[in-house]
C-alpha cells in the first residue's frame, strides 16, 4: 500500500522553497491563517552599476526587456564614508522621517528591502505610496531589493523570535549581504552600505554584527548642511526619555488593546466613528456612530484622550449621570493655555487648573438647569483605530519661545499653532527658532504619548513670511491638499502635437469627424461670468415648425482629448477638480486644453458633446438626443452683457431672440422644479474686486443674481438630469451619478426650535417640498434679509451631495434632495470636474460613439474615483472659501466700517454675527464688549444673552445688530481676519 | 500582510518570488490507493487534490459510493455507444482560508465537473467501452489557485493508472496577466500558473491541451481581459501545459520503473518501450 509521503522531501528544489505563515483578521472579526509559498532564487540583482556579476543573470520581462540598474557607480560620500555609500533604511526610519528621504539635498542611492516596503504598507498606506513614487523617480535612485526572495538574504523566523525582531534581522542580513557582494566587485572605491534606524536595539545588534549603522540624527549630522535636516527628525532620545518615566506620570488614560476594542464594537458596547472637534470649543468633540441617531458628545481633554480631528476612534458611552449638554460656551485653546510652557510636561494633571475651572462652570450651569431632558449621551475615547494625521500648516507661538533660543542655534522646544483651529498645538523641537519665527511652516505630528499634554511633531518645510501672498496661498493649498505643482512632462506629452495651432479638420472625411454631427450652422452662444476662459458650455434654441422649440446644450468635448488611463487622465483623476482661489486658478487639465482647445470659444470651430431636446412651449420634453458634434459659437457673453441684450427691446436679431426663448423656457423649468420641491438654498457669496495692476484687493461686493445666471443653470440641470437617465439605462451597475441624501430630521431640531421660540414660525421637514414651503414662509416683513439668513442656516443642516457609482445604491437612494430630482449627474463641466469627464465617456459609450473603455465599467475603479472626487470637491470648496476670507481681510486692511449684521449663533459668553455685505461671520466674545468683561446672564431657552456691569446690552438670536468691522491679525492662527465690535443693537 | 501584485514591475517578481514564466512546484504520485482502479495525488504549489477513478464499468447504481452524483456527462450521452465520463468533485471545507462549505449543487463545482469531464473525454478512447461508465471522483484538500488545472491533471494521472486507453495526457495550467483589467495596460507581462492571490487580483484563464500538441481541449476564462492581451496569455498557457505534460510523464515513468523494480510488473509486459535504466 502506497503511502502519501510528504512531498517536500522528495523534491530537489525543496531547499529553495519556503513558506510564510501569517494570521489576519477579517472585517467581521474572524481570524484566518494564511500559508503562502515563497520561491527563493539567486537571480535577484543588487542593481549597483558597479557590479559585473548580477547583470549576467538579471531578469527580463516577457518582451525581453531588462530593468536598468539604478544605484550609482559613484554615490555621494559623507564625513565617515568619503568613498561613497548606499543607504538601507529600516521601516521605522520611513515611518518617522519620510520627508527626509524626499529631500533634494541628500538621500540618494537608497536600497529599500522588500520587508521594509511590506511593513510600511501595513503601517501606513500614504507613506507606502510616497515611497513607491520615490522608487519610480529617476533621479533619487531608490531600489527595492526583494530580500525575502533571494536565497542568501532570506531569513526564517526563529523559535521565540518576535516578528519585528525577525524583520530587523532580515534588514541587517540584507546590509551584510550587500557589503560582501559589493566588496567582490573589485571596484576602486567600494561604497559602504549603511543601515539607518531609530531603533536602539536594532542599532546595537548591527554594531555587534559589524555592520555600518546609524540613527537618523547621527547620520544627518555627517551631511553637509545637516543641521537644517535635523529638525525633520522626530527626536528618538526624546521619546525614549518619555518611555522611561514612571507610569504614574501619565496624563491620559491608556488605550484599550485592539482586540478588546474589536470585541467591544462587535458586542455593541463600544462604538466606532470619526472624531470631530467643535469649531467653537476645542475641548468638545462629537462622533456619529451607527447605533444612535444623534452624535455622541465627548467633553474635556481626558475624555478626548489624544484624539485629533478626523481620527477613527472607539468610544465608550459614559454612565447617564455623567451625560452633559453640548457646551454653550466658546472655549478657545489660546485663551486658556496661553502661557503654558512647552517644556513643562511635569504638570501634575492633564487638565490645567484654568481648564478645570472652565469646565466646572460649564457643569454647574448644566446642573442648575431644571430641564433634565437636554443632557445628551456623552462618551469618552478608549482607543484610536486609525490616525488621520497629515501635514499641518501653522506658525510658531511667539510666547512659547525662550529668549536664548531666539538668538542662538540651541535646540528648543516650541509650540506650533496650526492654522486649522481644530488641531491642538503641536510641540516641536527645532534648532532654527530664530529663522522660523514669523514664518508659515509645515509640520507633521509624530506621536502623542500618554505623558505628553500635546502631540509631538517635527518641522517639514518653511513656506515663507506670514501674510505674504505667496506663503498664504501655498499654505491654503497645502491645508486643503490641493495638487498645485506644475504638470509633469509625462502629462504634457499627452497634449496634441499641434499645440495652439490645433484646428477642427476642414475635411469632413477626417477620422475626427466620424459620427459627429455638423452643427456649425446653429446660432450658438455661451454665457459665463466676466473673464471666463474655460468655457465648458454653450447653448442655442430655435423654433420648430410644429410650434415646439429645439434647445441644445453643447459641452466641451474633453474626452476627445483626454484618453482613459494615460498620464494626463491619471493626473486629472487625482486632481479631480479645478480649484478657484481669488487670485489663482489651479487647473485640473493643462491650460492648452482648458482655456483653448476644449474651451468653446466664440468664432472658432470646436468639438462638442451636444444634448438636444425638443421642448413644448410649456417646457415639457418631447424628445432628447445626444450626439458628438462640431459647433461654432457666435458670441461669448458675460451674464451682464446677455442680460442687457435680453432687456433691450431694440435688439431683434436672431441670436438675441433665441436667448429670449431660452429665458422664457428656463423660467418654466425652474417653476417646475420648485413645484416638485426643489430647495432654493443660500450661502453668503461675495466677490472680491481686485485692482488689475497689483492684484491687490480693493473692494468686496455681494454677488448680484441675474436672470441669465438662472437661465444657464436651468439648462445645465436639465442636461445633467437627461444624461444621468441615459447612462444609468446603459450601465445600471456602473453609471457615475450624484446624489443628495435627505437630511435626518434631527439635523433641523435646533433650527426649528429657534424659529419657534424666537419668531413663532414652524419649520416642517417631512419632505423637501414641505421644507421649501416652510422656508418660503420664514419672512420678517421688516427685515428682508431674514429669509436669506434662515436659508443660510438651513443649508448648514443639510447633508452634502456626493458622487457615487450606481451599483452601490438602491434606486430610491439616487435621489437628489436639493434639486428634487430622481436621478442626477454632472456632465456640463468636464474641463474642471473629473466626474463630468467620466460621464462623457459613459455617454459616448452609451450612444455607441466609441467602445466601452474598461475603466468606465470597472465598479471597483469607479468607486475609488468617486471617493477621491468627493473629498477633493469638498476641499476645493473649502479652499475657495478660505481664499475669499483671506482677501476680504486684506481688502479691509486698515479700514474700519460700520455694517449691519445678524446674530446667527449664541453662547453663554459670546455670539456669532454674520455680515451679509462681506459674507463673513465672526465671533464677538463678552470680553470684546468692554474693557472690563461684563457680567452676563444667558437664557438658553429663549436664546438671549443679557449683559450687565461694564456694559448693558441684550442680544438675541436672529437679531439685527450694528457692528464695526476692522481687520485684525488673529494671534492664534496667524491669519488676517475680520474683527467685529458691537456698536449697537437695533 | 505581504505586498500585492502591483509591485511586479519593481523587479519583475511575483508575490511569491517567481518570474512571469515559472510554474510552481508540481508534485504528483499515482496509484495512491491500491483498492481503486486508478488513483492519484497532485500538488501545484499549495493546491492539493486527490483523484480516484473507477471503471469503465456497467452504468446504473454507481460504484465507489458516489451517491447521486450530479456530475456533468461528457462524451455524448450515457446510453449511446460511447462510455460516459462522470466526474464528481468534493471540495473539503478546510481547503480554503475562509472555510466556506460548498453544497453539492454549487454552481461553480458543477461547472468544473463538466469541464473536467469534457476535457478527459477528448483524450479517452470512450468508443471502446459502449454502454459503460467511467467514474472520476476528485477531492480538493487545499486551494491556492489554479484549482481547475490541478483537477484536470490529477484526473489524467488517475486515468493512466486505471489503464484506460487514451490518446495522450491532458495537461492543464493557468495563465494570467500582470496588470488588472481596469489598468488597460497593453504591455503587461503574461503570467504562468497563478496562485490564489494572483487569481483574486488579476485576470486569468485556464487552458488544457492534448499532450505535446497545441490542441486545446479546454479553455476557461472567467475574468474580464482585453482581447489584445489574450494571445500572449494563451501562448504562455499552452507552453505551460507542455511543461506540465513533461512532469506528468515523468511521474508515470518513475512509477512504472519502481513497479518493475519491485516486481509488481514483469519486465517487458506492456512496458516494452520504457527505458528502465
Ligand atoms: Zn551584484
CATH number at residue A226: 3.40.50.1010
pLDDT surpasses 90 at B240: yes
pLDDT surpasses 70 at B190: yes
A735-780: per-residue pLDDT in tens?
A: 999 999 888 888 888 888 888 888 888 888 888 888 888 888 888 8
Q: What is the DSSP letter of A741?
A: P
Contact in structure between A975 and A969 (CB atoms under 8 Å):
yes
In a domain, A762, yes or no: no
Q: Which three cell numbers stand for residue A157?
A: 523566523
Judged on CB neighbours under 10 Å (0-12, 13-18, 19+), A615 is buried
B49 contacts on A by Cβ (under 8 Å): none
Q: How far is CA A601 from CA A505, A530, A608, in A?
A: 17, 14, 11
Contact in structure between A48 and A185 (CB atoms under 8 Å):
yes
Q: Cα–Cα distance between A417 and A395 in angstroms, integer? A: 6
Q: Residue A451 belongs to a domain with what CATH number?
A: 2.40.50.700
Q: What is the DSSP letter of A321?
A: G
In a domain, A772, yes or no: no
* pLDDT class of A29 with cuts at 50, 70, 90: low
The residue among A128, A872, A950, A180 whose CA lies nearest residue A477 is A872
- How far, in whole angstroms, is CA A145 from its chain's centroid? 33
pLDDT attached to residue A544: 93
Domain boundary among A842, A875, A908: A875
Domain boundary among A168, A200, A233: A233
Residues A312 and A406 in one domain: no
pLDDT attached to residue A358: 62
How many structural domains are present in chain A? 5
Separation of CA A640 and ligand 1 centre (Å) = 70
Percent helix, percent strand, percent coil in chain B, to nearest 5? 30, 25, 45
In a domain, A624, yes or no: yes
Which is higher by pLDDT, B252 or B271?
B252
Nearest CA in chain A to B25: A13
Q: B16–A36: do the CB atoms touch at under 8 Å?
A: yes
The minimum CA-CA distance between A63 and chain B, rounded to whole Å, is: 8
Q: Cα–Cα distance between B230 and B188 in angstroms, integer? A: 11
B3 contacts on A by Cβ (under 8 Å): 114, 117-118, 121
What range defines the domain where residue A264 resides?
Answer: 248-335+348-386
Type and span of the H or E element at A126: helix A125-136
Task: Please give the backbone phi and psi of residue A466, each rounded to the nearest 5 degrees, phi first.
Answer: -55, 145
Beta strand segments in A26-119, E: 31-39, 85-89, 110-113
Residues A700 and A589 in one domain: yes
Least confident segment among A409-423, A443-457, A839-853, B202-216: A409-423
ipTM: 0.85
Instruction: Mark which residues 107-146 of B lie under 8 Å from A by CB.
Output: 144
Q: B11–A118: do the CB atoms touch at under 8 Å?
A: no
Q: Cα–Cα distance between A960 and A914 in angstroms, integer? A: 10
Which is higher by pLDDT, A216 or A932?
A216
Residues A379 and A413 in one domain: no
Which is higher by pLDDT, B25 or A360?
B25
Asked whether the bond before A262 is cis by omega within 30 degrees of 0, the reply is no
Q: A462 CB contacts (<8 Å, ≥6 apart)?
A: A435, A436, A439, A440, A441, A442
Q: Chain B within 8 Å of A344 (Cβ-Cβ)?
A: no
B197 contacts on A by Cβ (under 8 Å): 36
Residues A149 and A109 in one domain: yes
Strand partners, A129: none
A114 contacts on B by Cβ (under 8 Å): 3
Q: Which three cell numbers stand for residue A479?
A: 491645508
Interface test with chain A among B12, B13, B17, B45, by most A beta carbons within 10 Å: B17
Of A4, A37, A564, nearest to B24 by CB-CB distance is A37
Buried b vs exposed e over B239-263: b needs ≥16 C-beta within 10 Å? Answer: bbbebbbebbbebbeebbbeebeee
**Other beta carbons within 10 Å of A254:** 11
Q: Cα–Cα distance between A630 and A538 in angstroms, integer? A: 12
Separation of CA A69 and ligand 1 centre (Å) = 10
In a domain, A37, yes or no: no
Q: Chain B within 8 Å of A949 (Cβ-Cβ)?
A: no
Type and span of the H or E element at A835: helix A834-846
In a domain, A3, yes or no: no
Percent helix, percent strand, percent coil in chain A, to nearest 5? 35, 25, 40
Q: Which three cell numbers stand for residue B24?
A: 510552481
Residues A503 and A641 in one domain: yes
The minimum CA-CA distance between A367 and chain B, rounded to whole Å, is: 51
In a domain, A775, yes or no: no
B189 contacts on A by Cβ (under 8 Å): 61-63
Would the CA dihedral through A316, A322, A323, A326 be positive or negative?
negative
Residues A847 and A938 in one domain: no
Separation of CA A58 and ligand 1 centre (Å) = 9
pLDDT surpasses 90 at A2: no
Domain boundary among A233, A264, A281: A233
Q: Which three cell numbers stand for residue B185?
A: 495596460
Residues A377 and A396 in one domain: no
Of A63, A117, A564, nearest to B184 by CB-CB distance is A564
Q: A4–B7: do the CB atoms touch at under 8 Å?
A: no
The minimum CA-CA distance between A154 and chain B, rounded to whole Å, is: 11
The minimum CA-CA distance between A806 and chain B, rounded to whole Å, is: 18
Task: Please give the backbone phi and psi of residue A519, each rounded to the nearest 5 degrees, phi first.
Answer: -110, 25
pLDDT surpasses 50 at B187: yes
Q: Which three cell numbers stand for residue A330?
A: 466658546
A524-546: per-residue pLDDT in tens?
A: 999 998 888 889 999 999 999 99
Q: A22–B1: do the CB atoms touch at under 8 Å?
A: yes
Nearest CA in chain A to B182: A855
pLDDT surpasses 60 at A576: yes
Residues A382 and A393 in one domain: no
C-alpha torsion angle, residues A252, A254, A258, A259 (rounded to 10) = -140
The residue among A748, A740, A739, A741 whose CA lies nearest residue A294 is A748
pLDDT attached to residue A188: 82
Q: A36–B197: do the CB atoms touch at under 8 Å?
A: yes
Q: Cα–Cα distance between A141 and B41 in angstroms, integer? A: 48
Taking CB atoms within 8 Å and a gap of at least 24, the contacts of A696-701 are: A696/A890, A697/A582, A697/A887, A697/A888, A697/A890, A697/A891, A698/A891, A699/A891, A700/A888, A700/A891, A700/A892, A700/A917, A700/A918, A700/A919
A639-688: per-residue pLDDT in tens?
A: 999 999 999 888 888 999 999 999 999 999 999 988 888 887 666 666 66
Strand partners, A979: A966
* pLDDT class of A699 with cuts at 50, 70, 90: low
Q: Work out the end-to-end distance of chain B between its first and last CA atoms, rounded to an integer number of angstroms.
A: 48
Q: Cα–Cα distance between A217 and A43 in angstroms, integer? A: 35
pLDDT attached to residue A621: 93
pLDDT attached to residue A690: 60
Residues A512 and A541 in one domain: yes
Q: B224–A61: do the CB atoms touch at under 8 Å?
A: no
Residues A639 and A711 in one domain: yes
Q: B32–A565: do the CB atoms touch at under 8 Å?
A: no
pLDDT surpasses 50 at B133: yes
Of A38, A60, A63, nearest to B17 by CB-CB distance is A38
B89-108: per-residue pLDDT in tens?
A: 999 888 887 767 666 678 88
The minimum CA-CA distance between B191 and chain A, rounded to whole Å, is: 9
Instruction: Mark which residues 245-274 of B lie under 8 Å from A by CB.
Output: none
Q: Cα–Cα distance between B157 and B244 in angstroms, integer? A: 12
Judged on CB neighbours under 10 Å (0-12, 13-18, 19+), A52 is exposed
Interface test with chain B among A36, A38, A128, by most B beta carbons within 10 Å: A36
Nearest CA in chain B to A115: B2
- Domains of chain B and any CATH numbers: 15-275 (3.30.230.70)
3-state secondary structure A511-578: HHHCCCEECCCCCEEEEECCCCCCCCEEEEEEECCCCCEEEEEEEECHHHHCCCCCHHHHHHHHHCEC
Tell me the range of A65-74, A110-119, A792-801 where mean pLDDT is highest.
Answer: A110-119
A467-499: per-residue pLDDT in tens?
A: 788 888 888 888 888 888 888 888 888 899 888
The minimum CA-CA distance between A66 and chain B, rounded to whole Å, is: 9
Q: Cα–Cα distance between A125 and B179 in angstroms, integer? A: 20
pLDDT surpasses 50 at A376: yes
Contact in structure between B226 and A854 (CB atoms under 8 Å):
yes
The residue among B169, B195, B178, B191 whose CA lies nearest residue B247 is B169
Residues A229 and A277 in one domain: no
In a domain, A419, yes or no: yes
Type and span of the H or E element at A165: helix A163-183
Task: Please give the backbone phi and psi of residue A281, each rounded to the nearest 5 degrees, phi first.
Answer: -145, 110
pLDDT attached to residue A624: 93
Nearest CA in chain A to B18: A39
User: Residue ranges of the alpha helices (H) in A583-638?
Assistant: 591
Q: Cα–Cα distance between A159 and B2 in angstroms, integer? A: 21
Q: Work out the end-to-end distance of chain A between its first and last CA atoms, rounded to an integer number of angstroms.
A: 104
Separation of CA A53 and ligand 1 centre (Å) = 6
Which is higher by pLDDT, A292 or A480?
A480
Beta strand segments in A85-190, E: 85-89, 110-113, 142-145
Ligand 1 (ion): residues with CB under 5 Å are: A 46, 51, 54
- How far, in whole angstroms, is CA A540 from its chain's centroid? 38
Q: Cα–Cα distance between A878 and A880 in angstroms, integer? A: 5
Q: Residue A942 belongs to a domain with what CATH number?
A: 2.40.50.140
In a domain, A882, yes or no: no
Average pLDDT over residues A154-165: 88
* pLDDT class of A235 with cuts at 50, 70, 90: low
Q: Cα–Cα distance between A509 and A660 in angstroms, integer? A: 36
Q: Cα–Cα distance between A329 and A360 in angstroms, integer? A: 12
The minimum CA-CA distance between A60 and chain B, rounded to whole Å, is: 7
Q: Residue A372 belongs to a domain with what CATH number?
A: 2.40.50.690
Type and span of the H or E element at A945: strand A944-948
Judged on CB neighbours under 10 Å (0-12, 13-18, 19+), A800 is exposed
Q: B195–A37: do the CB atoms touch at under 8 Å?
A: yes
The average confidence (pLDDT) of chain A is 83
pLDDT surpasses 50 at A246: no
Which is higher by pLDDT, A962 or A360?
A962
Q: Cα–Cα distance between B187 and B205 in angstroms, integer? A: 18
Q: A919 CB contacts (<8 Å, ≥6 apart)?
A: A684, A685, A686, A700, A702, A884, A888
* pLDDT class of B76 with cuts at 50, 70, 90: very low
- H and E: helices and strands count for chain B: 5, 10
The minimum CA-CA distance between A62 and chain B, rounded to whole Å, is: 5
Which is higher by pLDDT, A412 or A628?
A628
Residues A518 and A564 in one domain: yes
- Give the angle subtended at the CA of A724 by the CAs of A720 and A729, to the nearest 5°: 155
pLDDT attached to residue B69: 33
| Residue-by-residue DSSP string for A891-941 | HHTT-EEEEEEEEEEEETTEEEEEETTTTEEEEEEGGGTSSSPPEEEEETT
Task: Please give the backbone phi and psi of residue A140, each rounded to the nearest 5 degrees, phi first.
Answer: -80, -20
Instruction: Mark which residues 89-148 of A lie under 8 Å from B by CB.
Output: 114, 117-118, 121-122, 135, 144-146, 148
* pLDDT class of A844 with cuts at 50, 70, 90: very high
Q: Which three cell numbers stand for residue A298?
A: 465627548
Amino acid at each position: 500500500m502506497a503511502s502519501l509521503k510528504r512531498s517536500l522531501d522528495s523534491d530537489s528544489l525543496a531547499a529553495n522553497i519556503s513558506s510564510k505563515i501569517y494570521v489576519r483578521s477579517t472585517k467581521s472579526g474572524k481570524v484566518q491563517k494564511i500559508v503562502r509559498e515563497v520561491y527563493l532564487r539567486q537571480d535577484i540583482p543588487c542593481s549597483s552599476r558597479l557590479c559585473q556579476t548580477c547583470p549576467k543573470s538579471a531578469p527580463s520581462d516577457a518582451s525581453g526587456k531588462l530593468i536598468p540598474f539604478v544605484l550609482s557607480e559613484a554615490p555621494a560620500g559623507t564625513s565617515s564614508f568619503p568613498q561613497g555609500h548606499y543607504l538601507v533604511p529600516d521601516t521605522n526610519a520611513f515611518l518617522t522621517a519620510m520627508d527626509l528621504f524626499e529631500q533634494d539635498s541628500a538621500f540618494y542611492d537608497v536600497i529599500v528591502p522588500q520587508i521594509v516596503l511590506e511593513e510600511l504598507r501595513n503601517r501606513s498606506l500614504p507613506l507606502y505610496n510616497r515611497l513607491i513614487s520615490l522608487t519610480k523617480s529617476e533621479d533619487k535612485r531608490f531600489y527595492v531589493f526583494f530580500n525575502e526572495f533571494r536565497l542568501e538574504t532570506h531569513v526564517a523566523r526563529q523559535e521565540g523570535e518576535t516578528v519585528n525582531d525577525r524583520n530587523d534581522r532580515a534588514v541587517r542580513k540584507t546590509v551584510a549581504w550587500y557589503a560582501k557582494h559589493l566588496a567582490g566587485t573589485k571596484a576602486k572605491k567600494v561604497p559602504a552600505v549603511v543601515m539607518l534606524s531609530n531603533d536602539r536595539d536594532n542599532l546595537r545588534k548591527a554594531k555587534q554584527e559589524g555592520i555600518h549603522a546609524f540613527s537618523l540624527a547621527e547620520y544627518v549630522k555627517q551631511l553637509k548642511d545637516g543641521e537644517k535636516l535635523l529638525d525633520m527628525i522626530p527626536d528618538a532620545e526624546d521619546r525614549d526619555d518619555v518611555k522611561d518615566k514612571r507610569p504614574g506620570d501619565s496624563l491620559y488614560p491608556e488605550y484599550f488593546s485592539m482586540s478588546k476594542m474589536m470585541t467591544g464594537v462587535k458586542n455593541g458596547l463600544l462604538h466606532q466613528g470619526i472624531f470631530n472637534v467643535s469649531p467653537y470649543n476645542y475641548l468638545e468633540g462629537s462622533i456619529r456612530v451607527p447605533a444612535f441617531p444623534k452624535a455622541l458628545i465627548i467633553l474635556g481633554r481626558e475624555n478626548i484622550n489624544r484624539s485629533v480631528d478626523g481620527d477613527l476612534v472607539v468610544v465608550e458611552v459614559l454612565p447617564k449621570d455623567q451625560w452633559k449638554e453640548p457646551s454653550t460656551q466658546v472655549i478657545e485653546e489660546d485663551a486658556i493655555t496661553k502661557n503654558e510652557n512647552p517644556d513643562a510636561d511635569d504638570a501634575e494633571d492633564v487638565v490645567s487648573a484654568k481648564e478645570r475651572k472652565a469646565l466646572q462652570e460649564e457643569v454647574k450651569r448644566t446642573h442648575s438647569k431644571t430641564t433634565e431632558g437636554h443632557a445628551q449621551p456623552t462618551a469618552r475615547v478608549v482607543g484610536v483605530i486609525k490616525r488621520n494625521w497629515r501635514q499641518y500648516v501653522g506658525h510658531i507661538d511667539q510666547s512659547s519661545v525662550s529668549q536664548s533660543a531666539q538668538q542662538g542655534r540651541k535646540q528648543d522646544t516650541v509650540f506650533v499653532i496650526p492654522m486649522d483651529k481644530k488641531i491642538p498645538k503641536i510641540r516641536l523641537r527645532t534648532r532654527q527658532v530664530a529663522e522660523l519665527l514669523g514664518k508659515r511652516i509645515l509640520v507633521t505630528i509624530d506621536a502623542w504619548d500618554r505623558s505628553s499634554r500635546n502631540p509631538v511633531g517635527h518641522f517639514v518645510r518653511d513656506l515663507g513670511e506670514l501674510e505674504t501672498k505667496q506663503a498664504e496661498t501655498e499654505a491654503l493649498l497645502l491645508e486643503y491638499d490641493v495638487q498645485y505643482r506644475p504638470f509633469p512632462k509625462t502629462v504634457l506629452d499627452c497634449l496634441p502635437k499641434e499645440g495652439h495651432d490645433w484646428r477642427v479638420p476642414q475635411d469632413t472625411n477626417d477620422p475626427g469627424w466620424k459620427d459627429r454631427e455638423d452643427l456649425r450652422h446653429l446660432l450658438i452662444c455661451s454665457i459665463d461670468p466676466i473673464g471666463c476662459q474655460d468655457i465648458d458650455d454653450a447653448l442655442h434654441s430655435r423654433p420648430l415648425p410644429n410650434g415646439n422649440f429645439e434647445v441644445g446644450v453643447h459641452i466641451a468635448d474633453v474626452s476627445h482629448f483626454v484618453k482613459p488611463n494615460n498620464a494626463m487622465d491619471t493626473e486629472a483623476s487625482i486632481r479631480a477638480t479645478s480649484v478657484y482661489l481669488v487670485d489663482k486658478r489651479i487647473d485640473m487639465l493643462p491650460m492648452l486644453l482648458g482655456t483653448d482647445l476644449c474651451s468653446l470659444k466664440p468664432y472658432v470651430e470646436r468639438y462638442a458633446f451636444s444634448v438636444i431636446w425638443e421642448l413644448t412651449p410649456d417646457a415639457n420634453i418631447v424628445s432628447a438626443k445626444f450626439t458628438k458634434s462640431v459647433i461654432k459659437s457666435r458670441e461669448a457673453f458675460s451674464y451682464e452683457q446677455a442680460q442687457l441684450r435680453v432687456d433691450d427691446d431694440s435688439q431683434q436679431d436672431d441670436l438675441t431672440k433665441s436667448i429670449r426663448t431660452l429665458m422664457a423656457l428656463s423660467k418654466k423649468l425652474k417653476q417646475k422644479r420648485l413645484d416638485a420641491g426643489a430647495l432654493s438654498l443660500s450661502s453668503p457669496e461675495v466677490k472680491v474686486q481686485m485692482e488689475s495692476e497689483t492684484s491687490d484687493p480693493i473692494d468686496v461686493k455681494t454677488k448680484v443674481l441675474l436672470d441669465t445666471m438662472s437661465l444657464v443653470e436651468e439648462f445645465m440641470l436639465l442636461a445633467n438630469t437627461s444624461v444621468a437617465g441615459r447612462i444609468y439605462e446603459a450601465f445600471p451597475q456602473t453609471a457615475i451619478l450624484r446624489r443628495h441624501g435627505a437630511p435626518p430630521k434631527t439635523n433641523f431640531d435646533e433650527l426649528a426650535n429657534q424659529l419657534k421660540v424666537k419668531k413663532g414660525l414652524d419649520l416642517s421637514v417631512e419632505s423637501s417640498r414641505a421644507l421649501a414651503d416652510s422656508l418660503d414662509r420664514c419672512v420678517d416683513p421688516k427685515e428682508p434679509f431674514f429669509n436669506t439668513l434662515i436659508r443660510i442656516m438651513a443649508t448648514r443642516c443639510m447633508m452634502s451631495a456626493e458622487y457615487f457609482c450606481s451599483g452601490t445604491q438602491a434606486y430610491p437612494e439616487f435621489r437628489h434632495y436639493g434639486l428634487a430630482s430622481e436621478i442626477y449627474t454632472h456632465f456640463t463641466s468636464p474641463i474642471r470636474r473629473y466626474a463630468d469627464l467620466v460621464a462623457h465617456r459613459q455617454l459616448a459609450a452609451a450612444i455607441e460613439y466609441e467602445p466601452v473603455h474598461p475603466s468606465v465599467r470597472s465598479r471597483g475603479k469607479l468607486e475609488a474615483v468617486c471617493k477621491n472626487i468627493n473629498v477633493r470637491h469638498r476641499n476645493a470648496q473649502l479652499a475657495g472659501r478660505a481664499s475669499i476670507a483671506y482677501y476680504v481681510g486684506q481688502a479691509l486692511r486698515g479700514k474700519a466700517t460700520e455694517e449691519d449684521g445678524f446674530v446667527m449663533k449664541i453662547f453663554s459668553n459670546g455670539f456669532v454675527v454674520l455680515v451679509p455685505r462681506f459674507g463673513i461671520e465672526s465671533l464677538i466674545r463678552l470680553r470684546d464688549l468692554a474693557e472690563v468683561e461684563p457680567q452676563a446672564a444667558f437664557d438658553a431657552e429663549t436664546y438671549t444673552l443679557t449683559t450687565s456691569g461694564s456694559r448693558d446690552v441684550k442680544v438675541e438670536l436672529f437679531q439685527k445688530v450694528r457692528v464695526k468691522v476692522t481687520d485684525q491679525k488673529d494671534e492664534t492662527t496667524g491669519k488676517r481676519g475680520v474683527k467685529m465690535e458691537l456698536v449697537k443693537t437695533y | 500582510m505581504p505586498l500585492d501584485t502591483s509591485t511586479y514591475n519593481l523587479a519583475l517578481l511575483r508575490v511569491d518570488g517567481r518570474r512571469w514564466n515559472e510554474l510552481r512546484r508540481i508534485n504528483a504520485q499515482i496509484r495512491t490507493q491500491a483498492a481503486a482502479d486508478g488513483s492519484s495525488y497532485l500538488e501545484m504549489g499549495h493546491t492539493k487534490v486527490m483523484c480516484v477513478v473507477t471503471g469503465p464499468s456497467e452504468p446504473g447504481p454507481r460504484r465507489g459510493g458516489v451517491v447521486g452524483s450530479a456530475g456533468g456527462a461528457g462524451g455524448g450521452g450515457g446510453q449511446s455507444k460511447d462510455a460516459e465520463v462522470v466526474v464528481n468533485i468534493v471540495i473539503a471545507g478546510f481547503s480554503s482560508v475562509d472555510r466556506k462549505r460548498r453544497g453539492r449543487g454549487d454552481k461553480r463545482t458543477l461547472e468544473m465537473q463538466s469541464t473536467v469531464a469534457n476535457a478527459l473525454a477528448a483524450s479517452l478512447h470512450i468508443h471502446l467501452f459502449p454502454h459503460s461508465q467511467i467514474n472520476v471522483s476528485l477531492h480538493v484538500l487545499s486551494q491556492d489557485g489554479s484549482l481547475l488545472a490541478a483537477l484536470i491533471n490529477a484526473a489524467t494521472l488517475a486515468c493512466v493508472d486505471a489503464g484506460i486507453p487514451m490518446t495522450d495526457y491532458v495537461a492543464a495550467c493557468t495563465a494570467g496577466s500582470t496588470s488588472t483589467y481596469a489598468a488597460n495596460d497593453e504591455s503587461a507581462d503574461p503570467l504562468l500558473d497563478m496562485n490564489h492571490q494572483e487569481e483574486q487580483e488579476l485576470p486569468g484563464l485556464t487552458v488544457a491541451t492534448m499532450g505535446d500538441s497545441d490542441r486545446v481541449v479546454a479553455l476557461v476564462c472567467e475574468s474580464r481581459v482585453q482581447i489584445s492581451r489574450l494571445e500572449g496569455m494563451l501562448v504562455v498557457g499552452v507552453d505551460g501545459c507542455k511543461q506540465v505534460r513533461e512532469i506528468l510523464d515523468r511521474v508515470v515513468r518513475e512509477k512504472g520503473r519502481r513497479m518493475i523494480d519491485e516486481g509488481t510488473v514483469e519486465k517487458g509486459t506492456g512496458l516494452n518501450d520504457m527505458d528502465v535504466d
